[in-house]
Amino acid sequence: MPDSNNLISAVKKFYNSGDEYLIPVGINKDKIPALSNYIEAQNTGILLVDVDNISDTAPYASNENTAAFKTNTDNTHANVLSSGSVGGVSALPIGSFDLANTSGLNSSVLPQDQLSFQQDQLTPYTESNINTYYYAQGMPIVRDGKTLSGDYIDMLLGRDFVIKHSNKELTKIMVKNPKISYDITGINLLKSGVESVFDQLYRNGGVGEKANGKPDYLVTALPREDMKDVDVSQRIYRGLSWKYHPADAIDDAYISGEIDL
């Protein structure tokens, strides 16, 4: 346990550096559950773990903020699917990609054998929400782009985009303005900063649309009279909140047809 504590202490030191992914390298798999649970408690950032066996994830199998990866290996290829997957989408803005069906990964990532890995062998991966890299219709693809809880990685990336960029926008507003009044004008200024983050994520493709074609998000800013006196006296505003519907995506498509004679 002391080793796990040292690992967590090291992660804490750099946790707020702005990085989105944490990929442990050379860490004993016995330490991964504690690390996964720590990331889960933060509820931001995603732990990406390359596992030797599907059963390795059992101690933390329900964690929303941990994604596990397993693919083929040989004498010259290690299981580096997690970093390979990140590299495959690293140039794309958050909201514009869905990790499922990502192809063309770096040659350091070895897909499951094209001949011996059959469709039924994918089932244990799917049931355990383990990501792998296998051939579909002759093309190597990542499936299914999920964390261990079954949540889609791109949705969690959208969540983290909102959290990080909202905090950044609020800081920029406070730096830019010599003084922000504690009234509807100042509150709306802060609200507009958060709304700008959602507008950007919408332009990226990460926010769904309402029936009227508008982005499906809501930023709420409570008035001054709803704030606690102690917060007002200390110049703290706690009235901002948000919710949004992530943009949906298609990962699979099925065809039906008939011959009309």
Query: DSSP per residue over 43-55, as a string?
Result: TSSEEEEE-SSGG
Single residue among 143, 163, 184 that ends a domain in this structure:
143
Number of folded domains that form the chain: 2
Residues 192 and 226 in one domain: yes
* The pLDDT of residue 161 is above 50: yes
* Res 146: pLDDT: 98
What is the pLDDT confidence band of residue 2, given thresholds at 50, 70 and 90?
A: very low
Would residue 253 count as lying in a domain?
A: no
The phi-psi region of residue 174 (left if phi > 0; otherwise alpha if psi is between -120 and 50; otherwise beta) is alpha
Would residue 228 count as lying in a domain?
A: yes
Residues 131 and 163 in one domain: no
What is the tens place of the pLDDT at every residue in 86-128? Answer: 999 999 999 999 999 999 999 999 999 999 998 889 999 999 9
User: For 69, how many CA atoms within 13 A lie in the half-sphere containing its CB?
Assistant: 31
**Phi/psi at 182 (5° precision):** -85, 65
Residues 7 and 99 in one domain: yes
* Res 120: pLDDT: 87
* Res 62: pLDDT: 96
Q: What is the mean pLDDT of residues 179-194?
A: 99
d(CA 106, CA 246): 29
Q: What is the mean pLDDT of residues 172-198?
A: 99
Residues 72 and 117 in one domain: yes
Residues 130 and 199 in one domain: no
Single residue among 87, 111, 143 that ends a domain in this structure:
143
Residues 113 and 171 in one domain: no
Residues 68 and 105 in one domain: yes
Residues 50 and 158 in one domain: no
Where helices occur in 130-209 by DSSP H, the ranges are: 153-176, 184-204
What is the tens place of the pLDDT at every residue in 193-238? Answer: 999 999 999 999 999 999 999 999 999 999 999 999 999 999 999 9
Q: Which residues pair with 220 in a beta bridge?
A: 241
Would residue 261 count as lying in a domain?
A: no
**Phi/psi at 86 (5° precision):** -60, -45
Single residue among 143, 162, 194 that ends a domain in this structure:
143
Closest CA to 58 of 68, 48, 43, 70: 68
User: What is the CA 28 to chain-centroid distance, rounded?
Assistant: 24
Residues 81 and 203 in one domain: no
Radius of gyration over every alpha carbon of the chain, rounded to an integer in angstroms: 22
* Res 118: pLDDT: 85
The phi-psi region of residue 18 (left if phi > 0; otherwise alpha if psi is between -120 and 50; otherwise beta) is left
* Res 160: pLDDT: 98
Closest CA to 84 of 122, 118, 36, 131: 131
Q: Confirm whether pTM is higher than 0.85.
A: yes
* Amino acid type, 255: I
- Could you count the other beta carbons within 10 Å of the beta carbon of residue 50? 22
d(CA 162, CA 159): 5
The phi-psi region of residue 34 (left if phi > 0; otherwise alpha if psi is between -120 and 50; otherwise beta) is alpha
Would residue 212 count as lying in a domain?
A: yes
Residues 129 and 54 in one domain: yes
Residues 41 and 120 in one domain: yes
* Res 3: pLDDT: 66
Give the helix/strand (H/E) hosting 83: helix 81-89
* Res 5: pLDDT: 78
What is the pLDDT confidence band of residue 7, given thresholds at 50, 70 and 90?
A: confident
Residues 104 and 217 in one domain: no
Would residue 257 count as lying in a domain?
A: no
Would residue 30 count as lying in a domain?
A: yes
Closest CA to 101 of 141, 132, 130, 134: 141
What is the tens place of the pLDDT at every residue in 11-69? Answer: 988 888 888 999 999 899 999 999 999 999 999 999 999 999 999 999 999 999 999 99
Would residue 99 count as lying in a domain?
A: yes
Tell me which residue range forms the domain holding 83.
2-143
* The pLDDT of residue 1 is above 50: no
Would residue 260 count as lying in a domain?
A: no
